[in-house]
Structure 1
Amino acid sequence: MMSTWLLPESLADVLPAEARRIEELRRELLDLYRAYGFELVAPPLVEYLDSLLSDKGSDLALRTCKLVDQLSGRTLGLRADITPQIARIDAHLLNREGVTRLCYCGSVLHARPAGLLSDRELLQIGAELFGHAGVEADIEIIQLALESVQRAGVVGARLDLNHLGIVRALIDSDLALADVADEVIELLSTKDVPGMRQLGGRLPDLRPETLQALTVLPSLYGGVEVLAEASRVLPALPRIQQAMADLQTLIQAMPEYEFSIDLADAGSGYGYHSGVMFSIYAQGWHDALVKGGRYDGIGRSFGRERPATGFSLDLRKLSSGLPPARLAKAIRAPWGTDPALTEALRGLRGSGEIVVQSLPGETHDLDEFTVDRELVFVDGAWRVRAIN
């Protein structure tokens, strides 16, 4: 018989000191987003499935746990990503004109872990900016994402950039690629140049210049110098030129950060993102800490198509790569109902001190606190003294 304390695979409890740090990170980051003018929203954990999967590819559908609503008989989804819910709120509930800035934090559940070292339950926090199509909004979002990891204590963050407008322009400019777009994206993401040439051989109507661009795209990765090379070798399509200009503007706006470019890395974002894509990496984490980018039109299925850009991160993963959480200092106090003792406890706690009152016969065994002082009755008054 299976032990009742075992959890399902890729799910884990978070114990006291770590849970406290995650909660402190949540508060600090939400306060940071508020300082930028982002308003907090809290969508439900479960929604009708068609709402959760709006404008998204099959990847999200595979990650979403499904169940039947006993009230309506319709299929519900346990959210695997909060971003579509934020788009629904912007498009249908708020329905504002102009720019709307929204932030959120909540649990999401994946039916399957995203990777070998990934958890299925994430505490997703993020910020979304709706209503502005310019690169200025992308710059604000990326700056906020970078400040988020810096506030958490991450050192040496590196920013990876791409622009889906380049790949989309190439695919949309050649009708021969209309039915094989997903295959093209997969070949680009794995940098499979021989496979791309084989694909070209199966498409007699594919223009040679399009195939040439698709085979050179996997080599366009590295530092910011990649943009100059891309401008030289890629077709001079207006959308490609605009994408290059946006990336250049973005990089120039943040000269203090280290950037890397990979113009073939569309990944699973092709059906989702529409412009600038970015990921933030740092030593100590096996994959991206933050993912984000532009996804114009995500509100289409909710009746209102708007420009949108944003990012999200998992607070549990962020915390797991930081140095061990520091224990909070606490005061030990005896049990008692003496009014003077009660008043002393109230005063200490009101000033922000942690005071653990010992119950009769209790021995302290604490993971989150280190008890370095005690409350004692000395010379007719309750006083705090250090524990030697």
Structure 2
Amino acid sequence: MTGPFSNRAADPDDLLPEGLEDMLPHRSAAVSRATRSVLAAMDGRGYDRVRPPMLEFERSLAGRMDGVATRRMFRFVDPASLRTLALRSDITPQIGRIAATGLADAPRPLRLCYGGEVATIRADQLDPARQRLQLGAELIGSDTVEAASEIVTLAIEALAAAGANGVSVDFTLPDLVDRLAEKAMPLEPGAKDAVRRELDAKDAGGLAEIPGGEAYLPLLYAAGDFDAAIERLSALDAGGALASRIGGLRAIAARLGDRTRLTLDPSERHGFEYQSWFGFTVYAEGARGALGRGGTYRLSGSGETATGFSLYMEPMLEALGEGPVGRDLLFLPLGHDREAAARLRSEGWRTLSALDESDEAAVLGCTHRLTAEGPRPI
């Protein structure tokens, strides 16, 4: 791998697998700043941080929540237990396990947050990365309108704290087809998956070819700016099958007020494998794709309801831009005043000590030099 510090061509043995990359100092510093800001916003709202392990038994990761696909996980046999281990592809199921085990007796609703690396065998079509930094918050023990409003508000505040501008939120109803197919728009056995697929693809022709699918065609046009889209969705809901969900969306939107742009795409399911009645996607100016997703879901085993969201650092960095090039760096010459250097570090200075007379402050990237009078610009 080549970079700003080397003109050497990359040796084939040094190449990284597809979808993986080194994070060099400038980008790594930007990630650290954004991570601290996001986690601080969550902490300020009363969310306690937990740190689950990178590896777990495959059965635990796959069984905690519906829709978790183990085929996306790296799996291997644990030589100690001879059971199959999996490298996490999503931290959310781990938070569910913690809530159901170590924190089973903690008061509800339980507010937890996290930050850590995840990895997948194959990259998403829209995202070539196979390793990502996932940050998120989960409110366990409630999936009410109040809980959903708090979670969406926290996602917006966390992104704003990191420096993102122009944040927008797109609402969806992940169980829309299941709900309508119960009575209002019945479907033949096996047709629900086909209807979901064509709605995801926004394919009106394909939808019309499915027996019973033509009834779902108007849903393709009940999308866009929230106020207009929710009115179109309400007009389609003659039987009232979606009345409680529409009322919930209206209430969440009212609580958010005009702090961000809101849109609605009720049939969107990409990235909502385990969410139930409510889901949302967050975007920001400067990022090509979604910064994260969230919504309501149910934990398998314990049966608890929960509401949460996950943010991903790579698209977040796109939204944040390059940021500061670097912080001031103080060069400490040989024989410098060590007590003065320690005091300056306690005040927030970064220091770099000379190891040899030939060390040059400017060459090493220093912006200041320590003198008898204190730091002086170079």
Q: What TM-score do you get using the length of structure 2 for normalisation?
A: 0.90
In the aligned structure 2, how far is the partner of 1:264 from the partner of 1:163? 6
The match for 1:94 is 103
| 1:2 Cα deviation after fit | 6.4
In the aligned structure 2, how far is the partner of 1:229 from the partner of 1:41? 42
Aligned identity (percent) is: 30
In the aligned structure 1, how far is the partner of 2:363 from the partner of 2:207? 59
CA contact (8 A) 2:361 2:369 kept: no
* Structure 1 residues not aligned, in runs of 5+: 201-205
* Structure 2 residues not aligned, in runs of 5+: 1-9
State the number of aligned residues: 362
The verdict on how the C-alpha distance between 1:199 and 1:43 changes in structure 2, with shifts beyond 3 A counting, is same
Within-5 A mapping of 1:164-183: 164-173=174-183, 176-183=187-194
In the aligned structure 2, how far is the partner of 1:366 from the partner of 1:19? 21
CA contact (8 A) 2:295 2:309 kept: yes
* Equivalent position amino acid for 2:370 in 1: L
The verdict on how the C-alpha distance between 1:258 and 1:26 changes in structure 2, with shifts beyond 3 A counting, is same
Is 35-44 or 251-260 further displaced after alignment? 251-260
Secondary structure of the structure 2 residue equivalent to 1:246 = helix
The match for 1:119 is 129
Within-5 A mapping of 1:224-303: 224-238=227-241, 240-256=242-258, 257-269=260-272, 271-295=273-297, 297=298, 299-300=299-300, 303=301
* Equivalent position amino acid for 1:386 in 2: P
The match for 2:7 is none
| 1:185 maps to 2:196 | yes
The verdict on how the C-alpha distance between 1:215 and 1:48 changes in structure 2, with shifts beyond 3 A counting, is same
CA contact (8 A) 2:177 2:192 kept: no
The match for 1:198 is 209
Secondary structure of the structure 2 residue equivalent to 1:385 = strand
CA contact (8 A) 1:218 1:264 kept: yes
CA contact (8 A) 1:213 1:233 kept: no
| 1:12 maps to 2:21 | yes
| 1:78 Cα deviation after fit | 0.4
- Over the aligned positions, Cα root-mean-square deviation in angstroms equals 2.1
In the aligned structure 1, how far is the partner of 2:287 from the partner of 2:347? 37
In the aligned structure 2, how far is the partner of 1:274 from the partner of 1:116? 23
The verdict on how the C-alpha distance between 1:20 and 1:366 changes in structure 2, with shifts beyond 3 A counting, is farther
In the aligned structure 2, how far is the partner of 1:233 from the partner of 1:248? 16
CA contact (8 A) 2:289 2:315 kept: no
| 1:228 Cα deviation after fit | 1.2
1:151-202 residue CA offsets vs partner (Å, 9 max, x unmatched): 12211111111123433211233664443322221111112222222111xx
* Equivalent position amino acid for 1:44 in 2: P
Secondary structure of the structure 2 residue equivalent to 1:124 = strand
| 1:160 maps to 2:170 | yes
| 1:148 maps to 2:158 | yes
* Equivalent position amino acid for 1:374 in 2: R
| 1:212 Cα deviation after fit | 4.8
In the aligned structure 1, how far is the partner of 2:256 from the partner of 2:55? 38
The verdict on how the C-alpha distance between 1:46 and 1:278 changes in structure 2, with shifts beyond 3 A counting, is same
1:271-322 residue CA offsets vs partner (Å, 9 max, x unmatched): 4110211111123222101111111x2x22xx31111111111123312443
Q: What TM-score do you get using the length of structure 1 for normalisation?
A: 0.87
1:317-362 residue CA offsets vs partner (Å, 9 max, x unmatched): 31244322311012111022x6xx1111111111111121121033
| 1:373 maps to 2:368 | yes
CA contact (8 A) 1:18 1:325 kept: no
* Equivalent position amino acid for 2:306 in 1: A
CA contact (8 A) 1:166 1:243 kept: no
In the aligned structure 1, how far is the partner of 2:17 from the partner of 2:24? 17
In the aligned structure 2, how far is the partner of 1:93 from the partner of 1:197? 49
Is 5-14 or 319-328 further displaced after alignment? 319-328
